[in-house]
Amino acid sequence: MSFAALRNVALVAHVDHGKTTLVDALLRTSGVFNDHQALVDRVMDSNDQERERGITILAKAASITWGDTKINLVDTPGHADFGGEVERSLALVDGVLLLVDAAEGPLPQTRYVLSKALEAGLPTVLVINKVDRSDARPHEVLDEVYELFLDLGASDEDIEFPIISAVAREGRTMAGIGMPGPDDDLTALLQAVIDRVPPPDANPDGPLQAIVTNLDASDYLDRLALGRVVRGRLRKGDRVALLDEEVAEGEKPVERKLGSLLGYHGIGREDVDERVAGDLFVVAGFPEVEIGDTLADPAHPEALPRLSVDEPVLSMTFGVNTSPLAGKEGKYLTSRHLRERLDREVLGNVSIRLEDTDSPDVIEVAGRGELQLAVLIESMRREGYEMQVSRPEVIEREIDGKRHEPLERGVVDVPEEHVGTVTQGLAPRKGRVVDMRPGDTGRTIVTFEAPARGLIGFRGLLLTASRGTALLHTHHAGWMPWAGDLPHRQGGAMMADRTGITTGYALDNLQARGELFVGPGEKVYEGMVVGENSRPDDMMVNVVREKQKTNIRTHSADEAIKLTPPKVHTLESAIEFIAADELVEVTPESIRVRKRVLKEADRRRLKR
């Protein structure tokens, strides 16, 4: 393949604007799916959680050929919590495909990735998707995109992007604003990509330099390094030097013969003999490789600048499940299992850090945000792990001798009638609104700043209050002086005082005292939190008590028990609910809230 006939493009879009659907259409057009293959919708969102949450979590790559041009497509997440994935995706590409909904316009998540793309000086192709919607307003949306570019400090050259109108679901596009005809296909879009995005600006004949931007694992090849060849040629069978952070001046780097080299084809990978400067690669045979390392020519070992990723701002502990119900539902239960799984996560996820604690059974995990940590816990429970996790705590820093905490800047896109919910929700969390812009579509964009710990649980509160219509996007905005105590939940915990099975009779007597988390017929144990007290103090309760059978019956006492449905905690709501002396027990089948110290006598002794 000639060197000019290659393009590397990142796909940038807000949740649900059709980015992954567009990739499906491109793969179909280029004949990646054979006639006999089942077509999977949203093929790039291959992870179960990505499909359920409707978000892209992992950056993934696919490759298509159009005419004599090979186009590598890199799918990027929109959430700042997965900023580590975004930084790495943009290191692989020379241009960006910005996808915007013709009715909703550019939304908060678009802003985050686009700002990173403009910082990197990447040219843009704008695709206005879903122009067939009855409420489409492509002309106004185009004006909003120009405004967004100007807001982000774009240059005149950045703003001269080609505009494509698309119905991605049907694989139809046209240049300019309008409705693609019934016979139109993806030609207009592909041509715009080839015209606007430059071929890789790299020397294919210089000494080898290749940057590792991601890691993967294979049952057969063990650890895989994924990345881009920046200069020269990466050839199977050649000797390659690995330059990592640890290599000191004058020290000889690790050198090995390259036994396995893969390239992207469609959504899969295939064995190749060579990758030329500008192309993406997958190599095996370097078990010590880390993200940001350089693969180089041993005769001229020159390291590339390392990738920088936003620092973690939240940490929580992951420990072995010690409840009386431990081991009943999960497959992986020991600290060795937990440690191995978390070590594996850190390999491919640069924005997560692990720290040891005083106990060998407990590991501290630091990450970019609550959503990122919740996704990790959910992945582990689906794989069969049991664990108990603590409430997230912010990572503090001392600046000029004073205590500081992380500051988050957030953008909420919310219907007008729920703007009050945002401002009322921020006030007790020490947040402040810095900008408010009413839109044409009955929605308002609210920009705010708040301490990171004040935003724990804020996403859930917003979604509940707005019936799922609010869109929240936050990113790290530096450090602020410690904001003091923040309010947490109002009520104390209602704790089971013994092990057993809950009864309707016992719950009926307790539901007037607070909100219950369990229904009848559920297993409970001493120290498990079964509800929230309407008063601020903790309360021990008997939820397994049965009605005494006597000969005397009165009509009113024997009426059927009427129980209010219990509040069932999701992983996110449980993590937000717990206090410092509580943990969330996570198993493949259950999420329970419990006290760190289960026995009442032990808790009393600790208090003393």
Question: Does 362 map to a domain?
Answer: no
The least confident of 151-160, 253-262, 303-312, 387-396 is 303-312
- Which residue, of 196, 227, 256, is where some domain finishes? 196
pLDDT at 517: 93
- Higher model confidence: residue 246 or residue 278? 278
Question: Does 363 map to a domain?
Answer: no
The pLDDT of 336-344, averaged and rounded, is 90
> Does 170 lie in the same domain as 126?
yes
Which domain range does residue 11 map to?
A: 6-196
> Does 126 lie in the same domain as 215?
no
> Does 124 lie in the same domain as 15?
yes
DSSP conformation letters of 422-478: HHHHHGGGT-EEEEEEE-TTSEEEEEEEEEGGGGTTHHHHHHHHTTT--EEEEEEEE
pLDDT at 50: 45
What's the pLDDT tens digit per position in 415-432?
888 888 888 888 888 899
Which three-class secondary structure string do you get for 532-592?
EECCCCCEEECCCCCCCCCCCCCCHHHCCCCCCCCCCCCHHHHHHHCCCCEEEEECCCCEE
> Does 178 lie in the same domain as 47?
yes
pLDDT at 220: 67
Give the residue ranges of DSSP H helices in 54-127.
83-91, 108-119
Asked if residue 190 has pLDDT above 70, the reply is yes
> Does 176 lie in the same domain as 66?
yes
pLDDT at 469: 78
pLDDT at 320: 94
> Does 132 lie in the same domain as 29?
yes
Question: Does 265 map to a domain?
Answer: yes
Cβ neighbours of residue 461 closer than 8 Å, sequence gap 6 or more:
425
Give the residue ranges of DSSP H helices in 30-71.
48-53
Average pLDDT, the chain: 81
**Sign, Cα dihedral of 271, 277, 279, 285:** positive
- Which residue, of 279, 296, 313, is where some domain finishes? 296
Check which CATH number belongs to the domain holding 78 and give it.
3.40.50.300
Check which CATH number belongs to the domain holding 246 and give it.
2.40.30.10
* pLDDT band per the 50, 70, 90 thresholds, residue 58: very low
User: 358 by DSSP, 3-state: which?
Assistant: coil
Asked if residue 42 has pLDDT above 70, the reply is no
pLDDT at 437: 80
Cβ neighbours of residue 44 closer than 8 Å, sequence gap 6 or more:
20, 23, 24, 56, 60, 62, 75, 267
Check which CATH number belongs to the domain holding 455 and give it.
3.30.70.240
pLDDT at 218: 65
Asked if residue 210 has pLDDT above 50, the reply is yes
The pLDDT of 40-64, averaged and rounded, is 51
pLDDT at 528: 94
Q: What is the DSSP letter of 335?
A: H
The pLDDT of 509-514, averaged and rounded, is 88
> Does 74 lie in the same domain as 115?
yes
Question: Does 152 map to a domain?
Answer: yes
For residue 229, the one-letter residue type is V
> Does 230 lie in the same domain as 98?
no
CA-based nearest residue to 366, from 346, 386, 338: 346
What's the pLDDT tens digit per position in 217-275?
666 666 778 888 888 888 888 888 888 766 545 567 788 888 788 888 777 778 888 88
> Does 166 lie in the same domain as 251?
no
> Does 415 lie in the same domain as 292?
no
CA neighbours within 13 Å on the CB side: how many for 67?
A: 11
Question: Does 376 map to a domain?
Answer: no
- Which residue, of 196, 229, 257, is where some domain finishes? 196
Which structure tokens are listed for 4? 């000019």
pLDDT at 370: 80
The CA distance from 106 to 103, in Å, is 9
Residue matched to tokens 């909703």? 104
Consecutive H or E run containing 4? none
Question: Does 556 map to a domain?
Answer: no
What's the pLDDT tens digit per position in 356-376?
989 889 999 998 778 788 889
The CA distance from 131 to 139, in Å, is 11
> Does 29 lie in the same domain as 160?
yes
> Does 186 lie in the same domain as 272?
no
What is the total count of domains within the chain? 3
- Higher model confidence: residue 49 or residue 569? 569
Question: Does 334 map to a domain?
Answer: no
The CA distance from 75 to 85, in Å, is 10
DSSP conformation letters of 235-283: ETTSEEEEE-TTPPTTPPPEEEE--EEEEEEBTEEEE-SEEETT-EEEE
Asked if residue 319 has pLDDT above 90, the reply is yes
Question: Does 303 map to a domain?
Answer: no
Which structure tokens are listed for 192? 């715009």
What's the pLDDT tens digit per position in 100-154?
888 878 776 677 778 888 888 889 999 998 888 888 888 988 998 998 888 888 8
What's the pLDDT tens digit per position in 436-475?
888 666 778 888 999 988 888 788 788 888 887 787 777 7
CA-based nearest residue to 294, from 279, 308, 304: 304
Supply the Cα-derived Rg of the chain in whole angstroms.
Answer: 27
